[in-house]
Structure 1
Amino acid sequence: MRRSPRPRAGAASLALGAAGLLLLAGVAVPPAAPVAPVASPSTAAVPTVGDPLRVVLHRLQPAVLPEDRRAEVTVAGTVRNTSEEVWSDLNAYLLSSPGPITSAVELAAAVASDADTEIGDRIVEPGLFDDLPDLDPGEAARFRLSVPRRALELSGEPGVYWLGVHVLGTSADAGRDVVADGRARTFLPLVPEDTEGTELAVAAQVRARVVRDSDGRLAFPDPLARRLDREGRLHRLLALSRTAPGQALSWVVDPAVVEAVGSLADGNPAYDAEPVTLPRLAPAGPGSEAQPGGTGAARPGSGLAARRAVRWLTGFVEEAPRHEVLAVPYGDLDVAAAYSSAHAALTTYALDVSDRVLDGLGVDARPVVVPPPGFLPANALTALPPEVLAVLAPAAVPELPRPLVATATGTTALVAGTPETTRGPGPGAPRAALAVRQRLLADAALHALGADRGQPVVALLPAWWDPGPRWQAAHFFDGLTQPWLDLVDVAEVERDARPSTLRVPDGVVYPEDQATAELGEYVLQDTADLVTRGATYESVLIDAESVGDRLGRQALLTSSFWNRTRPRLAADRARGTSALVDSLLDGVVVRSPPFVTLSSEDGEFLVTLANQLQERVRVGLRASVSGSGLQLTTPEVVTLEPNERRSVRIGVRSSGIGIHRVELQPTTASGLPVGSAAALSVRSSSVGLVLWFIIAGGSVVLFGAIAVRVVRRVRRRSATHGPVLVDQDGRAAGQPESAA
């Protein structure tokens, strides 16, 4: 085999020379005479800068270099004409680097290198390149290259080699030259079969921003529905997980996303007093749609979106037992902001909600905190309960290279790669399934060849990762299955890794830009207020035991990490929901007379409790008095039917004279205020008591006078031995006339 001569590197390649990015892997190869009207490594720019042909690799077999030099390496992919002109005489060539990348630092530099960086020579041996049809603008063609390993002319040293594809062609404007018109690059590890090997844990993430309107409906159902169709990210992730062998893949799940899919399956209803019920789904036969089933199941909505949601939710529930499920706080709560703003209790609440949502689907999950940037402040990390696992970026604990760290408070943290450590090099599709697979293999190979191979490698795929439309051609997990690589889950990493002790707070790095980006305290406060209102509403309604939980879940969506870019909009949504709840609670009313006068120390007056809601309620009454001298006794909690009014008695005891301001507030059974209050004035006095004293005194005088008169009459009668007779002149009988 012969290779074409190498031209001078372009300006971009020279600019990278100071950093030593990719030439560190190169070994000089003597130039040979040209055999085809094409030559040497490309110096073309990335497609976004004007590359007319976009090359994407879909298949690479085997995933690692075979030790047998007679074995073939096969690469397949597509070429698409992104220009406005016709391209003809197209040829696809394979190329590789003669020497390997041997360290993680070199690998990271290689991924970040420009597309025109020189990596090796094209293989132009007849029969080892592929002829492609002419391409009109927008058209695409497939290519397939199979090359014996010996044709790659590798040094054979263990490590990670470059592998690339160049496509050259002819156009009316550009003609034909030796510069590649399209290209793609990837990595190809070489690990001896007798290598001791290492472990790799891969975690995929089911996370997304979930937004609900004030009435509980999904604000953006259409984007979610698109993620669930056959070309959608969530559909592809679920399908990819089905190809994983047991314990080869862990799931990091936000239950709010799962519940949003349930809402879509149910037709995206508004909140009401009924409990949230995700559709119970019966397994569907091959090629058929999942069907609802089970007693008490929610009724699925109609339409294509609902059917997709039902199908995905069915698959999720069926697939979950095969994987370790790690549940983040519901709604992807901004945990860092919660601890920074004295709302740490929201983290506990959000983890509890996540557990209950997944438990309702029969899915076992472990609580985790996985901040998307990979950073947590030290106070948040050490405050997490021991059963909650934290997942951090390597930059968050730079002093500890091991994948598992522990704090003195019992918190365990797993160190996983960032999105930049799970992408392949450009151009092409660096986030596609094949590119990610080869990057994971490259990292694992260098780790297996290193001294620290006994420690596992943890790869956390990005929260927004999409395997791409041709993910099946990549044979993702088949390629990761290697003799020197054991695929494990996160739980296995915890068992096998030797934890390092983390010094807190000195050993924890929390960048200033992360602290600045946290949600404001007002957002967390609006969340807490809505949680409280939801609990109040639920405690009033007799037949709606889950409405408070539903409102609490909506409140948590307000403080989602994904709202960092639009915090005020999120807070406004929470306040809108709070206002809606307040308007409902205002349907519980107490009515009273404006003025009450007491005629004695003790008394009572009537007030009316009214239920203007369409649900049964349980209501108490709390009375508060301004000043002292008046004591009120309120009735026990009462149950009111829809639109019922009931009169209740308020007991009063006065110890002085005056006018008192009284406020009557309807409450829940636990004493939380609810509904509309009433105010009245109560006049208390001792006039009644004085009046009784006067009456009593008058009675004593009256009956005393009567008694005196009776006594006198009795005495006089006794003195005359009988009744005293009086004649017509007024003299007593027998009395002599007076002298004349």
Structure 2
Amino acid sequence: MRPVAALVAIIVVLLVGPATGAALAAPRQPAPVPAPGALTLVLDELAPRVVTGSGPTVLTVTGTLTNTGDETVTDIGVRLQRGQPLTSEGAVRDALEGDAPTDSIAPQFQELPDALGVGEQVPVRLTVPLRGAPETTLALAATGVYELLVNVNGVPGDGDRARLAAVRMLLPVVGLPDVADAGTPPTAATPFSLLYPVVDVPRRLTTAPGEPVRLTDDSLADSFAPTGRLGGLVTALAEAAPAGSPVRTATCVVTDADLLQTAQGMSQGYVVPAADGSLVPGRGAEAAGAWLAAFAEAARGMCVLALPFADADVVALARGDLAGSAVGAVTAGRGLVADLLGTPVLEGTAWPADGVVDEAGLAAFTEGDVRSLVLSADGLDLPAQAESAGTVPVATAGPAVTAVVTDPLVTLAAGGRSTSTTAVPGRGGAAAATTAGGPLSGQDVLGTVAFRAVEEAPTGGPLVIAPPHRWDLDGGAARALLDGFGTLVDAGFLSPRGLGSALATPTSTAERTLDYPIDAGAREVAPAAVAAIGPVLDDIADLDSSVVDDELGVDPDDLFDPLVLGAVRPASAAWRGSPEQATEAADALADRVAELRGAVAVLEPPSPFSLGTSTSPLLLTVANGLPVTMRVRVEVSSTSGLRVAPIPVVEVPPFGRRQIQASAEVQRSGVFTVDATVRSIDGGLLGSPSRLQVRSTAYGTITLWLTGTAGVLLVVLAARRILRRIRSEPGRNTPRPPRPGSPETIPDTAETALPADRPGTRPPPTTPSRTGAGETATTAGDRTLPVPALTPHPLPAPNGPIPAGPATGRNRPAPSAPSEPSGPPPVVRRPDVPVPPGSVPPRPGRPPVRPPGSR
């Protein structure tokens, strides 16, 4: 039986073994992933910020939990858990990125009593002992830096219980409560210097002297208030770093001249755009004035480092062929900060954006008399062991430059990525934690500095803490951070070292070359925004070419220096990584400069010009809305029918007007539309062209020429017509033969009808000519008339009948005379034949006058 049993066992193993192996090799199914965004946790306080041997024995966390999802969450539990101490820089980086394990010690959840509906919120307060059993405490047993996690679990709707929100932070532990030998300070404290930025994004628009300060929005009114971000930074500096304190010695205030100028201008009144686009007075004038005064008082006697004006990105400007603007921003920034704060600034020292610079940017800094730079270790070619501290010379082709090296790990810790915390799906079905923000935004900086001081031996150089230029730190977080540094100083882990003394004491003589990171180039200000600055500077220079430096108005430098400085605002380091905002800033700058140039223009008249003659002048009015005298050129375009002569250069007083005359020549009557423009001396168009309408009732040269030509032609045609009519009339030069019985056969005058020998008559002179048979030709004047031949007969008695004469013409019988004639015989006269002189018949009853010599 034993052999049979053994054989059965072998068969079973052979059959079951592969199935078991397959089951063991099968991958584990991941846990279900909860829906993100169900809850949001915002922490307000953490006490203590640094755990010391003489401090409290419990850790307290307070905050607010809000249901931002779309379902009611039930069975909510909150607990505070931690990971193992961080012993390497890689572990710290993982913790800052939220990838380090935090479940080494996980006490029990503290349940919330009620469910949380959609949109509802509930306060959260956790109090956990620092030492004790792992089920109920954090169970701290050694000093170091720990990553804490505030974990929120719950059941969304009908789902399963899961992590719905989480917040992570670093907790430095330099001593254990109730443990005498825990937290022994090192033999030598780590020297440190703190850069304390008081900076904001540029919000001021370019204005001319005399205009109120104009801002893009009114957010500075809240920020300058004591409860605002900028107001809280100044208050924390004054209260947590008083005169004589170690933290004040190590702190160097960093600020921007543009922000200080903006606050000064706001205190005198300013305007902001309303929703409808109009300008309305701002509400932060009093807060701005009080903030500037408090800032000057808090910074008096401290180390002050001035940024380039408007925190300009010098590298981006140099890359955009605007090195001159970069140099001006560097030099002007130092002088303005010293004047506005009333405190000297570090001479020849600059802090580039992100602590990195390339060769072109370095040349711009050195041209601006910069001999010391604050650079990140990521921007230099350094050995790994020297990345945390040191002051080294920089290899450059120009003047010698020294760089104090900042700690990039601390800079990473200071760049908090969120001010609120929302659950996000993470690895293994758990929600990944976000960085604590708001009042706890400086906690990671404090933990990272403690890691450098506790876990690493000092290298001789100072640990320079350099957060981003625009640090998202409010007043509460800043005060907690300064208090934490004070705690580390008191515990013997840190010692203050001023930035000026650190720059003056190099820790190495080996020159280091610049190493501009690729990702830093990707974060530079958008090239399109930088490229837009060049044309604006050209417009400002063109406007400057027409300014008259006289006693009227303001000093031209007071107008153009702010314009040139303000032109670098679109290249502010605040826009690194935000191309849309940089482009908006560039557009706002261009629009504002265009408005200033448009303040000089020709005013459009209320009614059209009316010209009564062909050479009437046009009266134009040039307005100058700038506070300086402008010498400009006025041009009026010519059109068909209207020609305008060139206008001499005209000077317009500040905020004044000048009327000028433009000689116009009208070539025809009608209505003309022309454009009047104002140009600078260099030829740039200042104001928008003004559309002018000109109405003319005068005849121009062409019109008069055409009219005269038409008149001459009319006279010629009329004369030609008359001449042709005269020439076309018959019988004017050729005699016509008379018709029988026509009036031509009758004598023209009374004397021709009388006998030639009648007393008192003088026959007209006659010239014989060859005529027809029985006829003679009588010439009277220049006319030759045919006269029939007469037969002499005796004169009748006075008042007697006239005897009948012989037949005439074609022997027709003559008409019989009346039986009783009375008076002289009638005279038949042709209407078209003039009466010769002396041929007038005698009046009735008077004897005819005899010619001289007759009887």
TM-score of the pair, normalised by structure 2: 0.54
Does structure 1 residue 225 correspond to structure 2 residue 221?
yes
Tell me by how many angstroms 1:572 deviates: 4.2
Alpha-carbon distance in structure 2 between the residues aligned to 1:462 and 1:73: 33
Judge conservation of contact 2:372–2:503 (CA < 8 Å) in 1. no
Alpha-carbon distance in structure 2 between the residues aligned to 1:515 and 1:85: 42
Aligned AA (2:392): V
Tell me by how many angstroms 1:428 deviates: 5.3
**Helix, strand or coil for the counterpart of 2:442?**
helix
User: Quick one: which of 211, 236, 239 aligns to 1:240?
Assistant: 236
Alpha-carbon distance in structure 1 between the residues aligned to 2:498 and 2:548: 42
Instruction: Give identity over the alignment, percent.
Output: 19
Aligned AA (2:50): A
Judge conservation of contact 2:233–2:475 (CA < 8 Å) in 1. no
Corresponding residue for residue 254 of structure 1: 256
Does structure 1 residue 101 correspond to structure 2 residue 101?
no
Q: For 1:434-513, list aligned pairs within 5 A.
A: 434-468=440-474, 471=477, 475-481=480-486, 482=488, 483=491, 484-495=493-504, 498-499=507-508, 501-504=510-513, 507-509=515-517, 513=522
Tell me by how many angstroms 1:321 deviates: 1.5
**Helix, strand or coil for the counterpart of 1:75?**
strand
Unaligned runs of 5+ in 1: 1-12, 16-42, 271-300, 589-609, 623-636, 648-664, 677-740
Instruction: Spell out, residue by residue over 1:237-281, the C-alpha distance to the aligned partner (whole angstroms, 9 max, x if none).
Output: 2233233322343332122122223333333259xxxxxxxxxxx
Corresponding residue for residue 376 of structure 2: 393
Judge conservation of contact 2:600–2:622 (CA < 8 Å) in 1. no
Tell me by how many angstroms 1:220 deviates: 1.7
Tell me by how many angstroms 1:109 deviates: 1.3
Alpha-carbon distance in structure 1 between the residues aligned to 2:441 and 2:595: 49
Alpha-carbon distance in structure 1 between the residues aligned to 2:565 and 2:48: 46
Change (3 A) 1:106 1:614: closer
Aligned AA (2:125): F
Tell me by how many angstroms 1:478 deviates: 1.8
Judge conservation of contact 1:214–1:576 (CA < 8 Å) in 2. no
User: Quick one: which of 123, 133, 136 aligns to 2:107?
Assistant: 123
Corresponding residue for residue 561 of structure 2: 549
Alpha-carbon distance in structure 2 between the residues aligned to 1:427 and 1:218: 41
Change (3 A) 1:638 1:261: closer
Alpha-carbon distance in structure 2 between the residues aligned to 1:468 and 1:14: 45
Change (3 A) 1:262 1:78: same
Does structure 1 residue 74 correspond to structure 2 residue 59?
yes
Does structure 1 residue 565 correspond to structure 2 residue 571?
no
Alpha-carbon distance in structure 1 between the residues aligned to 2:113 and 2:94: 35
Aligned AA (1:467): L
Does structure 1 residue 194 correspond to structure 2 residue 161?
no
Task: Count residues with an aligned counterpart.
Answer: 545
Judge conservation of contact 1:382–1:411 (CA < 8 Å) in 2. no
Larger Rg: 2
Alpha-carbon distance in structure 1 between the residues aligned to 2:203 and 2:543: 18
Corresponding residue for residue 298 of structure 2: 319
Alpha-carbon distance in structure 2 between the residues aligned to 1:422 and 1:49: 26
Corresponding residue for residue 661 of structure 1: none
**Helix, strand or coil for the counterpart of 1:120?**
coil
User: Quick one: which of 405, 411, 427 aligns to 1:415?
Assistant: 405
Judge conservation of contact 2:37–2:164 (CA < 8 Å) in 1. no
Instruction: Spell out, residue by residue over 1:217-243, the C-alpha distance to the aligned partner (whole angstroms, 9 max, x if none).
Output: 534222333433455322332233233
**Helix, strand or coil for the counterpart of 2:532?**
helix
Alpha-carbon distance in structure 1 between the residues aligned to 2:528 and 2:151: 47
Tell me by how many angstroms 1:189 deviates: 2.7
Instruction: Spell out, residue by residue over 1:663-706, the C-alpha distance to the aligned partner (whole angstroms, 9 max, x if none).
Output: xx997xxx999999xxxxxxxxxxxxxxxxxxxxxxxxxxxxxx
**Helix, strand or coil for the counterpart of 1:184?**
strand
User: Quick one: which of 119, 123, 126 aligns to 1:141?
Assistant: 123
User: Quick one: which of 46, 49, 58 aligns to 2:36?
Assistant: 49
**Helix, strand or coil for the counterpart of 1:361?**
helix
Change (3 A) 1:14 1:502: farther
Alpha-carbon distance in structure 2 between the residues aligned to 1:120 and 1:159: 15
Instruction: Spell out, residue by residue over 1:88-144, the C-alpha distance to the aligned partner (whole angstroms, 9 max, x if none).
Output: 6655433333x42112221011221348x44322234xxxx8665536442221314
Corresponding residue for residue 208 of structure 1: 200
When the two chains are superposed, the root-mean-square deviation of aligned CA atoms in Å is 4.7
Tell me by how many angstroms 1:544 deviates: 0.9
TM-score of the pair, normalised by structure 1: 0.62
Judge conservation of contact 2:600–2:626 (CA < 8 Å) in 1. no
Aligned AA (2:200): A
Tell me by how many angstroms 1:469 deviates: 8.2
Judge conservation of contact 1:229–1:308 (CA < 8 Å) in 2. yes
Instruction: Spell out, residue by residue over 1:263-302, the C-alpha distance to the aligned partner (whole angstroms, 9 max, x if none).
Output: 33333259xxxxxxxxxxxxxxxxxxxxxxxxxxxxxx97
Judge conservation of contact 1:368–1:388 (CA < 8 Å) in 2. yes
Instruction: Spell out, residue by residue over 1:189-219, the C-alpha distance to the aligned partner (whole angstroms, 9 max, x if none).
Output: 3443331221232223233332455656534
Tell me by how many angstroms 1:489 deviates: 4.3
Tell me by how many angstroms 1:61 deviates: 1.2
**Helix, strand or coil for the counterpart of 1:304?**
coil
Aligned AA (1:52): L
Aligned AA (1:523): A
Instruction: Spell out, residue by residue over 1:28-61, the C-alpha distance to the aligned partner (whole angstroms, 9 max, x if none).
Output: xxxxxxxxxxxxxxx9989x92453525261221
Tell me by how many angstroms 1:438 deviates: 4.1
Tell me by how many angstroms 1:429 deviates: 4.8
Change (3 A) 1:496 1:638: same
**Helix, strand or coil for the counterpart of 2:461?**
coil
Alpha-carbon distance in structure 2 between the residues aligned to 1:492 and 1:101: 32
Alpha-carbon distance in structure 1 between the residues aligned to 2:271 and 2:43: 42
Corresponding residue for residue 654 of structure 1: none
Alpha-carbon distance in structure 2 between the residues aligned to 1:94 and 1:422: 23
Does structure 1 residue 331 correspond to structure 2 residue 322?
no
**Helix, strand or coil for the counterpart of 2:472?**
coil
Judge conservation of contact 2:460–2:507 (CA < 8 Å) in 1. no
Change (3 A) 1:516 1:361: closer
**Helix, strand or coil for the counterpart of 1:413?**
strand
Does structure 1 residue 532 correspond to structure 2 residue 541?
yes
Alpha-carbon distance in structure 2 between the residues aligned to 1:337 and 1:388: 20
**Helix, strand or coil for the counterpart of 2:293?**
helix
Alpha-carbon distance in structure 2 between the residues aligned to 1:533 and 1:205: 37
Aligned AA (2:106): R
Aligned AA (1:207): V
Alpha-carbon distance in structure 2 between the residues aligned to 1:616 and 1:236: 38
Instruction: Spell out, residue by residue over 1:284-324, the C-alpha distance to the aligned partner (whole angstroms, 9 max, x if none).
Output: xxxxxxxxxxxxxxxxx976322332332232222221542
Judge conservation of contact 1:211–1:220 (CA < 8 Å) in 2. yes
Unaligned runs of 5+ in 2: 1-27, 175-182, 242-247, 273-279, 418-431, 604-620, 634-649, 662-678, 688-855
Alpha-carbon distance in structure 2 between the residues aligned to 1:312 and 1:85: 45
Aligned AA (2:285): A
User: Quick one: which of 322, 327, 330 aligns to 1:351?
Assistant: 330
Instruction: Spell out, residue by residue over 1:176-199, the C-alpha distance to the aligned partner (whole angstroms, 9 max, x if none).
Output: x5x555433322234433312212
Tell me by how many angstroms 1:645 deviates: 8.8
Judge conservation of contact 2:105–2:139 (CA < 8 Å) in 1. no
Tell me by how many angstroms 1:391 deviates: 3.1
Corresponding residue for residue 432 of structure 1: 438
Alpha-carbon distance in structure 2 between the residues aligned to 1:44 and 1:460: 42
Alpha-carbon distance in structure 2 between the residues aligned to 1:238 and 1:264: 18
Aligned AA (1:460): A
**Helix, strand or coil for the counterpart of 2:232?**
helix
Judge conservation of contact 1:241–1:249 (CA < 8 Å) in 2. no
